[in-house]
């Protein structure tokens, strides 16, 4: 027997990938975890007869000879399959996973590519094999693709995700049905949790990012907590929200993170806590840990996570061309013209005392002003950035203060300069290898 399964709390991308597995491996049995996303559960309530899914309790694991794992590559995130983990010699394992990190499942065959959605990888293979799809299958696959890419707005989205969506629409996927399936489940319980989250906010600044923590006790089962966490982040307008929910299971906390900040990888943080996810979203189940300790762990992980990101030191120009505060405006114009730059840091006795740019020439009213020292026209409201900060933090400073360059300072010494063009080149992925 061959079975196809995915991670606990299966979302639409995971479920779509399970069904795609039955298309790529005819005869394979689709097996869903006992805990699945509420939207997926609602979908199955109507469509279960079409897909003939089973839970692990309905499978005789001794008869399983082939295991296809989709949208995950970690044993502990599979439901009830610990028995199969020990069968190294007589079990074929196939893995399809789009997450950036390598997992611990040693497969006989693996397709591991970073992509916005796992179903994209499987759609590619179905196209290569010319597998026919029903409109319902195509609609399900498109739903998984939209969910995991945020309708192509999440940073992890790739061009191939968009091409896969176009192909699925050609195969008869109904976008109106997709929209109805992805409508979040939000009711009285979710509203109450959101209200408690807003009341309990603990906001911190970590490496320049606004991060909000919310430790909430849950009475009974409350679904769609990920929807609530996302709404909380949007309302508070912070870079990241972490909901630490206790009470659903004795001795356990569910941690849900949502972020829209470049370089703050929620999925990597959650994997360190034993869960998983994507750069902008993730979750983890943590055993027997005080919520305050979980907050401290996340804070430390965020700080460590930033060090692994692209840093200003990777983008800055050096050595830095500067100009003396006593130099004339005429000297400045000559340097700007010859060096084709738009501004310079101003120094005095080796210290940074200001910044001067082409725009400052607007203050020059008379010809004699060209003989005046740079100090008379420079901006003394100096904004600097440290080499370990991220491009997003630099962009925030530039937008907030309407400046085109930031001296990079370490131990009170200018070690480089980063410009608006440097930051834009990074965001549009035009950095040299």
Residue 230's DSSP bridge partners are none
In the predicted model, is pLDDT for residue 433 greater than 50?
no
Mean pLDDT throughout 239-261?
82
Mean residue pLDDT across the chain: 85
pTM for the complete prediction? 0.60
User: Rounded to an integer, what distance in angstroms lies between the CA atom of residue 108 and that of residue 96?
Assistant: 12
Same domain, 288 and 322: no
- 276 with 343, same domain: the answer is no
Whether 275 is covered by a domain: the verdict is yes
Q: Could you tell me if 36 and 148 lie in one domain?
A: yes
Q: What is the pLDDT of residues 341-396, one digit of tens each?
A: 878 899 888 788 888 988 888 888 888 889 899 999 988 888 899 888 877 778 77
175 and 40 housed in the same domain: yes
Give, rounded to a whole angstrom, the gap between the first and last alpha carbons of the chain: 46
SS3 313: helix
Q: Which of 281, 307, 333 is the last residue of a domain?
A: 307
CATH number at residue 323: 3.10.580.10
**Residue 364 CA to its chain's centroid (Å):** 47
- Tell me if 288 is assigned to some domain: yes
Cα 2 from chain centroid? 33
Least confident of 7-11, 70-74, 160-164, 279-283: 279-283
In whole angstroms, give the CA distance from residue 423 to residue 58.
Answer: 54
Rounded to 5 degrees, φ, ψ at 18 are -60, -50
**Distance (Å, whole) CA 359 – CA 347:** 19
Query: What is each CA distance from 166 to 127, 139, 144, 145, 160, in whole angstroms?
Result: 12, 12, 14, 11, 10
Q: Is residue 356 within 8 Å of 374, Cβ to Cβ?
A: yes
Poorest-pLDDT segment among 77-86, 128-137, 186-195: 186-195
Torsion over CA: 95, 45, 152, 423 (sign) = negative
In a shared domain, residues 147 and 213: no
User: Are 228 and 333 in a shared domain?
Assistant: no
| Same domain? 163 vs 196 | no
Boundary of a domain, candidates 278, 307, 336: 307
What's the pLDDT score for residue 151?
Answer: 87
Among 307, 329, 356, which residue terminates a domain? 307
Distance CA 44, CA 37 (A): 11
212 and 269 share one domain: yes
Are 114 and 161 a contacting pair, CB within 8 Å? no
Same domain, 250 and 297: yes
The verdict on 55 and 169 lying in the same domain is yes
CATH number at residue 209: 3.10.310.30
For residue 167, give both structure tokens: 């192909």
Apex CA 16: angle with CA 11 and CA 18, to 5°?
A: 100
**Which pLDDT band holds residue 431 (cuts at 50, 70, 90)?**
very low
Is residue 225 domain-resident?
A: yes
Asked whether residue 49 is assigned to any structural domain, the reply reads: yes
pLDDT tens, residue by residue, 255-268: 899 988 777 888 88
Least confident of 28-32, 174-178, 211-215: 174-178
CA 105, 110, 112, 118 torsion-angle sign = negative
Specify whether the CB–CB gap between 355 and 344 falls below 8 A: yes
For 171, the token pair is 């195969």
Give Cα 46 to chain centroid, integer Å: 32
Q: Which residue has the higher pLDDT, 281 or 129?
A: 129
- In a shared domain, residues 254 and 160: no
Q: Is residue 7 part of a domain?
A: yes
Are 287 and 321 within one domain?
A: no
Buried-state track 142-166, b at ≥16 Cβ within 10 A, e below 16 = bbbbbbbbbeeebbbbbebbeebbe
What's the pLDDT at 170?
A: 95
Domain membership of residue 432 (yes or no) is no
Looking at the structure of the chain, the number of domains it has is: 3
In the block, tokens 């309905």 appear at 58
Tokens of 288: 């027997």
433 within domain boundaries: no
Range of the domain at 116: 2-181
Strand order from edge to edge, sheet including 2-5: 54-55, 29-32, 2-5, 66-70, 92-97, 109-112
Residue 139 lies in a domain: yes
Q: What pLDDT, in 10s, does the model give residues 130-188?
A: 999 999 999 999 999 998 888 887 778 899 999 999 999 999 999 888 887 876 666 67
């Amino acid at each position: 027997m061959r079975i196809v399964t995915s991670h606990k709390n299966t979302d639409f991308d995971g479920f779509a990938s399970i069904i795609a597995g039955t298309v790529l491996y005819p005869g394979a049995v689709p097996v869903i975890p006992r805990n699945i996303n509420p939207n997926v559960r609602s979908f199955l309530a109507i469509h279960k007869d079409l897909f003939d899914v089973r839970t692990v309790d309905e499978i005789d694991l001794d008869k399983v000879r082939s295991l296809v794992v989709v949208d995950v590559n970690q044993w502990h995130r599979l439901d009830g399959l610990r028995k199969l983990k020990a069968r190294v010699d007589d079990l074929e394992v196939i893995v399809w996973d789009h997450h950036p990190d390598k997992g611990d499942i040693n497969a006989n065959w693996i397709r591991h590519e970073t992509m916005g959605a796992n179903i994209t990888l499987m759609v590619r293979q179905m196209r290569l094999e010319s597998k026919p799809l029903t409109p319902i299958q195509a609609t399900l696959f498109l739903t998984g693709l939209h969910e995991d890419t945020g309708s192509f707005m999440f940073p992890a989205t790739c061009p191939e995700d968009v091409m896969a969506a176009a192909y699925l629409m050609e195969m008869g996927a109904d976008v109106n049905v997709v929209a109805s399936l992805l409508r979040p489940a939000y009711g009285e319980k979710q509203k109450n949790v959101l209200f408690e989250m807003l009341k309990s906010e603990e906001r911190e600044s970590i490496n320049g990012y606004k991060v909000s923590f919310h430790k909430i006790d849950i009475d009974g089962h409350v679904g769609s907590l990920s929807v609530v966490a996302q709404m909380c982040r949007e309302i508070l307008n912070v870079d990241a929200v972490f909901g630490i929910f206790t009470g659903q299971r004795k001795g356990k906390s569910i941690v849900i993170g949502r972020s829209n900040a470049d370089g703050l990888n929620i999925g990597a943080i959650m994997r360190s806590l034993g869960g998983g996810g994507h750069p902008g979203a993730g979750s983890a189940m943590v055993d027997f840990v005080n919520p305050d300790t979980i907050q401290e762990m996340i804070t430390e992980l965020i700080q460590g996570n930033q060090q692994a990101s692209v840093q200003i030191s990777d983008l800055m120009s050096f050595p830095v061309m500067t100009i003396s505060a006593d130099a004339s405006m005429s000297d400045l114009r000559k340097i700007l013209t010859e060096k084709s730059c738009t501004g310079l840091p101003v120094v005095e006795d080796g210290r940074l005392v200001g910044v001067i740019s082409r725009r400052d020439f607007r203050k020059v009213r008379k010809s004699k002003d060209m003989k005046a020292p740079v100090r008379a026209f420079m901006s003394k409201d100096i904004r600097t950035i440290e080499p370990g900060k991220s491009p997003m933090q630099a962009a925030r400073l530039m937008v907030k203060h309407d400046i085109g360059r930031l001296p990079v300072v370490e131990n009170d010494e200018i070690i480089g300069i980063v410009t608006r063009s440097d930051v834009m080149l990074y965001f549009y992925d035009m950095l040299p290898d």
